[in-house]
Structure 1
Amino acid sequence: MSQLTYQFWGPTKVLFGAGQLNHLHEQQLPGTKALVVISSGTSARANGYLDRTLAELAQTGVKTVVFDKVQANPTKEQVEEGAFVIREQGCDLVVGLGGGSVLDSAKVMAMFAPQPSDDLWDYAGGFTGRRLPLANPGLPWVAITTTAGTGSEVDSSGVITKLDTREKIDVGSPNGFAAIAVVDPELMLSVPPAFTAYQGFDALFHSLEGHISRLSNPFSDMVQLAAITNVGTYLARAVTDGSDLEARTFLAFANTMSGYSMCTSDCTSEHAMEHAMSAHHPALPHGAGLIMLSRAYFQFWIDRHVCDARFVTMARALGKADASEPQDFIEALVSLQEACGVADLRMSDYGIRREDALTLAQNARATMGGSFPCDPAETTDEEIAGIYEAAWR
């Protein structure tokens, strides 16, 4: 099933490993005044990560302005507000310090700030975006990730929500990569168990989906199997003991590899389906929504027998060494979810109704339609609705 051609463009310089934040000041930073983007929560300050980052930037002579309003599912308005601060303060660099939502916001702020428009959706897709070309190059940005979930430190777009139209979509440009990414697992030691699990499964699904995608190829196979193997080996350990630095390190590696999966392959419709869920229900954590969908989603493809050998390979990578048939993958996946305490998540707890299935299916295809051609085979809206119904609890 794997294609024998691929294109790869990954210009980000990655500083990977425990303690690497301490080496940021040794890098040649592409700016002199930075907007430092963090979440609206307290963790970046409480854990000292913000002060450490500001100190590293100060050592290089970079002045800083802090923007602390990014929420778990970043919105168009939050990104626009950050971009307006960049313009007002004359910043020529953006630094994202946080999880996937913060990094997504930072990279889109960097893209949008130099443009002549005040409306981010002039440069977005979905079903209301105007898809205008960028008038100016984006600003350079630096990613400092504090979670292992999205791979956003090494890809070029961010997921942004437009609440009034219920669009949760990728916004970005082909040149939107970070100049530098700091992947320091010491910054991930403070992530609580449930969110460690949600984020770890998000990284896992990037690679699982990419591995059954029509775009899979030798390069993507390599990084996907590395990610799947490391999540399968280390995620439950990190959930059980958040201070396990070895487990955190290998999860961080898996996360970055899943980011490269998106650069060389792509996610399939499972991600589009979850985006529809959290676009309608913004309190739903992205990783949790993916977990809710996962068994029914992958069972759908197993039942169609479109990539049987790939499911066996993924089952083995997840740790089921004796896997010999596609159904073994579901067993391995459920076993990992049980070990991480997330096997019983329910859509109904977030207000999702079974009768919403077709509405969600249509939203997924309308807003993230580019994911569906990556699927192993074509689907109808009714089939996608059927997956929602099978996953609903």
Structure 2
Amino acid sequence: MTTAPHRHLLRPLRQFVSARPAKRKAHKHETGITFARALSTSHNCQAKEYAFEMACSNIRYGPGVTKEVGMDVKNMGGKNVCVMTDGNLSKLPPVKTTLESLDKYGVNYKLYDKCRVEPSDQSLQDAIDFSKKHQFDLFVAVGGGSVMDTCKAANLFSSKPDAVLLDFVNAPIGKGLPVKHPVKPLIAIATTAGTGSETTGTAVFDFKDMRAKTGISNRSIRPTLGILDPLHLVTMPERVAAYSGVDVLCHAIESYTVMPYNERQGQEDPSYRPAYQGNNPISDIWSLHALEVTAKYIKRCVYNADDTEARSAMLLASCAAGIGAVYNSDDLEARANMCLASCVAGIGFGNAGVHLCHGMSYPISGLVKSYKSEDYTSEHPLVPHGLSVVITAPAVFEFTAPACPERHLRAAEALGYDTRNAKKEDAGKILQEVLLGIMDSIGVPDGLRSLGYSEADIPDLVKGTLPQHRVTKLSPRPAGPDELSELLTKSMKTY
């Protein structure tokens, strides 16, 4: 007999067994799925998807765990290793610790420290050329999402020298070819708590000709091992903590509210099945947990609020681990938990996908004029990725809520809102209200105008969003040019 407190644990299992999405407002592109269709040998590209696949990197977590990377490289047989990072990190403890470990284990390596914050097609090509020249047999990425994504691309293309950049870029921008050649092992050491790139098969970059971001998504390029060392987050600047934190927030909400996997169009060749598959019973668990952790720790992670009890507990833990009093200067408990939340959300969205917030973020980043954020050491104008994503989130989730109000309410509940008396028709407003409260509490700028945009830029922003099929086609509610224009207009001023 199942007692009431444990009934919620059976929900994902029941969903999986029934293979049917929750009741929600129907749209003309959505149809049900039958097992007869799934088993039919005449399955064609017009049928709905019938399967999903769970994939992620191996993950190792713990304070000081970076010191083990030399052992990992040696065990993987690395003899000619590329260490990739950016110019700022190359001078900081995460890279120093990595190189000391490689030296300890006698690993031969070359350091590439030219990774661009928010990589472009040109910066990716430079890293690819470097990798082709030296014919590495293993890669180590030390950094945030920009470094990890650059390293994934360098590994992918140096492993197939005759390929050109657009071969594996998502259609319709690129050819979207499946990756069928072997790539080298890749170890990703995260230094921020936001992208979850250490567990995903996604690499995103600015495509200069298009003036918008695009990406490569394929399970084959996900890291072999992701290393999460919370000590690297001690020196993470405030704004980096804020904008990487809201990236976690949007990853989790978007992956929980994307179209269900069995409502997405299928394909004749399963090797073309995308990494972003739609929500499913496994990704749901990761996405909701990431929201709960983020709600608890994001503000503390940004401002390192005084929490004597938490710091005392972490200090005792650090002493037990032989790490010392490094925790004294920061609320490492919050940053350590956001580090885990980032990875957890990465597992969720790395399999389910994201939708409109990320789709619109790509031209928001790509069309940046003069905006530069405090705490980012970029020489060029830059809208940090997490900021470009969250700036439209309040408008987006108000728009998508009618398609699956239960999921939007459940997301609000995971973020701490009491939904017991909430009405389905209010789901969008409720989630919007919760988001605005979090954004305001950590100092997110007030809308697109604060980033240098005006209504005159909306046509170009829409134009840059429309080709982002990898993510926009997963929206639970279809959004064409008119809908995107309205969402961007509403996002000009956020609060």
* TM-score clears 0.5: yes
Q: Give the Cα–Cα distance (whole angstroms) in 2 for the partners of residues 351 and 160 of structure 1.
A: 21
Matched residues in 2 for 1:253 and 1:188: separation?
A: 12
Q: CA RMSD in A?
A: 2.1
Contact 1:45 1:51 in 2 (8 A): yes
**For residue 286 of structure 1, what is the amino acid of its counterpart?**
H
Q: Of 438, 444, 464, which aligns to 1:363?
A: 464
1:34 is matched with which residue: 74, 81, 90?
81
Any idea what SS the aligned residue of 2:382 has? coil
Q: Equivalent residue for 1:188?
A: 233
Once the two structures are TM-superposed, the CA of residue 309 in structure 1 deviates from its matched residue by 1.5
Give the gaps of 5 or more residues in structure 2.
1-10, 20-50, 260-277, 305-328, 369-380
- Which residue identity lines up with residue 144 of structure 1 in the other structure? I
Alignment of 1:191-210 (within 5 A): 191-210=236-255
Name 1:336's counterpart in structure 2: 438
Determine whether 1:224 maps to 2:287.
Answer: yes
Deviation at 1:198, TM superposition (A): 0.4
8 A contact 2:210–2:464 mirrored in 1: no
The 1:26–1:64 alpha-carbon spacing in structure 2 relative to 1, beyond 3 Å, is closer
Tell me by how many angstroms 1:47 deviates: 2.7
Shift of 1:126: 4.8
Residue among 107, 112, 133 paired with 2:152: 107
2:489 is aligned with what amino acid?
A: E
1:358 and 1:382 in contact (8 A); partners too: no
Contact conserved, 1:80 with 1:119, CA < 8 A, in 2?
no
Residue 235 of structure 1 is matched in structure 2 by 298
Q: Aligned residue pairs: how many?
A: 387
Listed as ranges, the gaps of 5+ residues in structure 1 are none
Distance in 1 separating the partners of 2:330 and 2:92: 14
1:270 is matched with 357
Does the 8 A contact of 2:212 with 2:365 survive in 1? no
The sequence identity of aligned pairs, in percent, is: 25
The one-letter code matched in structure 2 to 1:373 is: K
Q: Which residue of 2 aligns with 1:316?
A: 413
Task: Give secondary structure in 2 for the equivalent of 1:109.
Answer: helix
Question: What's the counterpart of residue 285 of structure 1?
Answer: 384
* SS, match of residue 235 in structure 2: coil
Q: What does residue 255 of structure 1 align with?
A: 342
CA deviation vs aligned residue, 1:38-88 (integer Å, no higher than 9, x gap): 113x2x234322111011122333211111112221011211211221222
**Could you tell me whether the CA contact under 8 Å between 1:10 and 1:177 is conserved in 2?**
no
Q: Determine if contact 2:355/2:471 at 8 Å carries over to the other structure.
A: yes
| 1:19/1:279 CA distance change after superposition, 3 Å | same
Partner of 1:348: 449
Task: Compare CA radii of gyration and give the structure with the larger one.
Answer: 2
Q: Secondary structure at the match of 1:137?
A: coil
Q: Which amino acid aligns with 1:71?
A: R
Aligned equivalent of 1:156: 201
Q: Secondary structure at the match of 1:267?
A: coil
Q: Deviations over 1:2-42 (max 9, x none)?
A: 863563343522111222112223322352121111113x2
1:200-227 Cα offsets, whole Å, 9 max, x none, are 1001101100111112222111101110
Spell out structure 1 runs of 4+ moving beyond 6 A: none
Describe the SS at the equivalent of 1:86.
Answer: helix
CA distance in 2, matches of 1:132, 1:223: 29
Q: Distance in 2 between matches of 1:7 and 1:99?
A: 28
Question: 3-state SS of the aligned residue for 2:249?
Answer: helix
Aligned partner of 1:218: which letter?
A: P
CA distance in 1, matches of 2:479, 2:134: 48
Q: CA deviation at 1:104?
A: 0.7
For 2:419 and 2:477, how far apart are their aligned partners in 1? 27
Q: Which residue, out of 191, 202, 213, partners 2:258? A: 213
Q: Which letter does structure 2 place at the counterpart of 1:18?
A: P
